[in-house]
Amino acid sequence: MNSAVVPLESEFSLQSLGEFAQKQIAQWFEVCDSFFDWQKKHLLGTTPSLETLEEHKKVLKLLLRVTRLLHAEASDPDFPGRALAEDFAWRLSRLEDSWLMFHGDMTHAEADAILERVYPE
């Protein structure tokens, strides 16, 4: 993963900080999307091992925490690029559905309904 550098010299500005935030957000979206791909491959339609489920739980907890924080920040009226709040809300909803599906108390019918909504194909 590329790391962006926050400019600290005379070129430091709200615009440069906003660009930095935009790059970090794009990277976070890539992380979330990679998680969804991994989850689809290793958990959906299979019987995952207890170790795989435990790893999924730990990773998902962190993804949920950070996505909630970033969503709250992107929802602030003064946040540059506030339209990103919708992208965060969508990913947050999918992450919460994943939690319910794999780690919450849910019936098979409820899990199937989420799968149909998230993966219509």
Q: How many domains does the chain have?
A: 1
Is residue 16 one of the residues assigned to a domain?
A: no
Is residue 14 one of the residues assigned to a domain?
A: no
Which pLDDT tens digit goes with each residue over 34-69? 999 999 999 998 999 999 999 999 999 999 999 999
Is residue 75 one of the residues assigned to a domain?
A: yes
Q: How much is the pTM?
A: 0.75
Judge whether 38 and 63 are in contact, CB under 8 Å.
no
Domain extent for 107:
48-121
Which pLDDT tens digit goes with each residue over 22-37? 888 899 999 999 999 9
Is residue 20 one of the residues assigned to a domain?
A: no
CA distances to 17, 18, 73, 83 from 91, in Å = 24, 21, 15, 14
